[in-house]
Amino acid sequence: MHLEKVDTVGVVGAGTMGNGIAQVAATAGYNVVMRDMTDELVAAGFEEIQSSFETLVARDTVTEQEAEAATARITGTTEMDDLADADLVVEAVTEDMDIKQSVFEDLDAVCGPDTVLASNTSTLSITTIASVTERPEQVLGLHFMNPVPVMKGVELVVGEKTSDETVTLGREFAHDIGKETWEADDKPGFVVNRVLMPWINEGVRAYDEGVADKADIDRGLTLGTNVPMGPLELADHIGLDVVLDASETLYEELGDRYKPAYLLKRKVAAGDLGKKSGQGFYDYD
């Protein structure tokens, strides 16, 4: 049963994070409006949702009937106005402050006065994003982990003006869709990326400097620290461009300890972005 205060969830962005958020919200019984810039992007989002459900059905995590019912609860659109009746909107667009602020300006104008606006940002300031709205107390960070249908965590990020009621709603919504949460202040990188990005970059440097080959670096970290993936495999999974963007944001805010590894920058420049491009530190073709 979904929250009494939330019936319809809007999602801005039908990419990997956006369609994953749409999928888990619809699976939990919410009506979802998933918006992106073009019909092609919206269709691609639905294709990813279908593929994800096929995997979950094969694993007996959901039934075919549950997957079909959840998919039917998702409406795709290219119109921002179609989010007007949403009770909660989660933005999941490119990790760029100007783009996010533009989205929030549009949402603030379109959505009703009680609508809560959330950003899936992994590093950018919620306070700065909220500053372009007339409702900063109703803006928070809901940072989902990738892949959204599988990962259990959601990071709640509290901006300077975020109200206690908004944090409570965000937490209850996350719990209702089967996630566990932790709370972070609005400081660069929050909890996860503030710790994760230096870890990944040091793994890349260790490989670049010949400390060990990539397989042994990843094997050493998985066996030595009991994490499910080593730094190079995880970077490929996240997307090397995403890791680089996050690292550069933290480097600008926090200094040298977050400086991106040279090999990471070279890989991104070459178009080797990880699993999504077929080639990163490992070959996925």
| 152 labelled binding-site residue | no
pLDDT at position 67, please? 97
Write down the catalytic residue from 120, 122, 125, 247: 122
Q: Is 143 a catalytic residue?
A: yes
Residue 233 has pLDDT above 70, yes or no: yes
Whether pLDDT at 2 is above 60: no
Q: pLDDT at position 1, please?
A: 40
- Cβ 190 vs Cβ 197: under 8 Å: no
Instruction: Determine whether 226 is an active site residue.
Output: no
pTM of the model: 0.92
User: For the segment 123-173, what is each residue's pLDDT rounded down to a tens digit?
Assistant: 999 999 999 999 999 999 999 998 899 999 999 999 999 999 999 999 999
User: Binning pLDDT at 50, 70 and 90, where does residue 3 land?
Assistant: low
Is 54 annotated as contributing to ligand binding? Answer: no
Which position has the token pair 């066996």? 223
Domains (range + CATH), the chain: 8-185 (3.40.50.720), 195-276 (1.10.1040.10)
Known catalytic membership, residue 237:
no
Residue 277 annotated as part of some ligand binding site: no
User: What's the Cα-to-Cα distance from 260 to each of 97, 99, 220, 270, 276, rounded to whole Å?
Assistant: 19, 23, 22, 16, 20
In 3D, which of 223, 91, 239 has the Cα closest to residue 157? Answer: 91
125 is an annotated ligand-binding site residue: no
The answer to whether residue 193 is catalytic is yes
Q: Count of H helices and E strands in the chain? A: 11, 8
Catalytic one among 48, 91, 155, 233? Answer: 155
Residue type for 51, please? S
pLDDT higher than threshold 80 for residue 4? no
255 is known to lie in a ligand binding site:
no
What pLDDT is recorded for position 88?
98
Write the DSSP string, 38-107.
SHHHHHHHHHHHHHHHHHHHHTTSS-HHHHHHHHHTEEEES-GGGGTT-SEEEE---S-HHHHHHHHHHH
pLDDT digits (tens, 9 = 90+) for 57-69: 999 999 999 999 9
| 16 appears as a binding residue in the annotation | yes
Which of 2, 48, 143, 277 is an active site residue? 143
What is the pLDDT of the chain when averaged over all its residues? 96
119 in a known ligand binding site: no
* 1: three-class secondary structure by DSSP: coil
- List, for residues 79-89, the tens digit of each pLDDT value: 999 999 999 99
15 is in an annotated binding site: yes
Backbone torsions φ then ψ of 230, nearest 5 degrees: -80, 175
Distance CA 238, CA 120 (A): 14
pLDDT bracket for residue 5 (50, 70, 90): confident
Q: Is 256 exposed, middle or buried (0-12, 13-18, 19+ CB in 10 A)?
A: exposed
Residue range 268-276: average pLDDT? 96
Cα 58 from chain centroid (whole Å): 25
